Amino acid sequence: MRKKEEQINHTLKHRAENLIAMMQKKYATDIFGFGEEFRRHQYAYWKAHKDEWDDLFAQAEIRVHVQTYLRRFGQFK
């Protein structure tokens, strides 16, 4: 079961990193709401950079950490 968890973690992390990279490079658009989190928790920084947020997002280094837990194997619908 642990091996399956590791495989799922790897697949999800890879897909998330690819999606983030595509949004940063191809579209330069924050569809994930990172800017909104900055507005909520780092308002002074966000206020100073809100007009250039899409450019900052496109250049940001974003790390992805995935941790899954399998409880049991079985079928699902």
pLDDT (tens digit, 9 = 90+) per residue, 44-72? 999 999 999 999 999 999 999 999 888 87
| pLDDT value at residue 15 | 97
Of the listed ranges 31-35, 51-55, 73-77, the one predicted with least confidence: 73-77
Q: Are 1 and 73 spatial neighbours (Cβ–Cβ below 8 Å)?
A: yes
pLDDT digits (tens, 9 = 90+) for 5-31: 999 999 999 999 999 999 999 999 999
Residue 55 vs residues 25, 26, 43: alpha-carbon distances, Å? 10, 12, 18
| pLDDT value at residue 74 | 72
| pLDDT value at residue 22 | 96
Give the dihedral sign, CA 16/25/47/36: negative
Q: Are 26 and 54 spatial neighbours (Cβ–Cβ below 8 Å)?
A: no
Token couple for 71: 């409880």
